[in-house]
Amino acid sequence: MGFTFLIIILILVLIVLHVKIVSQSQAFVIERLGAYLTTWDVGLNMLIPFLDRIAKKVSLKEQVIDFPPQPVITKDNVTMQIDSVVYYQIVDPKLYAYGVENPLNAIENLTATTLRNLIGELELDSTLTSRDTINTKMRAILDIATDPWGIKINRVELKNIMPPAEIQDAMEKQMKAERERRESILRAEGQKKSAILVAEGEKEATILRAEAKKEAAIREAEGEAEAIISVQKANAEAIKLLKEAAPDKSVLAIRSMEAFEKVANGQATKIIIPSELQSIVALSEIFQQSKK
């Protein structure tokens, strides 16, 4: 009875030890007698004691490898240090377990050689301005190379590109000179626009002054014309009234003498009276005496 109980306990222990639960985002590679048997996904699974074993536990999550800086040489013989970051994911646990001995070390070496090959085809300036192109090419090359290992390369990023110190100094001086050049151009353009605005303002002011003078001259001429017209209308009205009054000769003589008096008040030293107007003078004298 005791022996049977021990056997039952042993069987229970073996069952407990060989029942495995595969969690989310994991996969177990199972071998039987040293040969690949199957791959366990999420759920409850059981090993056959003494026959089956878990060869490898694989994480199916996306993972990141940050490689140390690698020395590379550009096409124009400039040596620089570049460190890269690789985002990868295991898509086939069986290939990952049996494809390569050390997958991470293989990816690191493959990344370094691919990076050297790509940078060797570019000059320094192109290397500094072509990160996206380099990242895309590296991802495509690494993805193809790691496919037999059950690994998918999702993204590759060049984290830092570190040229030599003398190259950095030269680049900083070049950037400073370029900034100063742009500043000079902007200052010159500002002065040019300012001069144009001043000239346009003076032009508009001159035009406005000329238009004001023109308007003043027009109004002055119109005023003079209106004054002349008013005087002519007054004279015409006076003549009309004079005709309507039908004045006799004595009245006309008096008006003529008044006109001569105005003329005599001028600067003339001599006044010649026509002979036919002598009778008018006589009538004028009579008129003056009658006033007294």
How confident is residue 262, by pLDDT bands cut at 50, 70 and 90? low
> Is this model's pTM higher than 0.75 or not?
no
How many Å apart are CA 156 and CA 110, to the nearest integer? 12
Q: Is the pLDDT of residue 212 over 80?
A: yes
Structure tokens at 40: 């366990």
Q: Reduce the DSSP state of residue 179 to 3 states and report it.
A: helix
Q: What is the pLDDT of residues 85-111, one digit of tens each?
A: 999 999 999 999 888 888 888 998 999
Q: What is the pLDDT of residues 130-174, one digit of tens each?
A: 888 888 999 999 999 999 999 999 999 888 888 877 776 777 777
Please tell us whether the domain made up of 63-169 is placed in CATH 3.30.479.30. yes
**How confident is the model over 36-62, as a mean pLDDT?**
86
Give me the chain's average pLDDT, please.
Answer: 79
How many Å apart are CA 275 and CA 57, to the nearest integer? 152
Give the start-to-end residue ranges of the domains of the chain: 14-59, 63-169, 246-292
Q: Is the pLDDT of residue 242 over 70?
A: no
Q: Report the number of secondary-structure helices (H) and strands (E) in the chain.
A: 8, 9
Query: Residue 156's beta-bridge partner residues?
Result: 86
User: Residues with Cβ < 8 Å from 28, sequence gap 6 or more?
Assistant: 20, 22, 39, 40, 45, 54, 56, 57, 58, 93
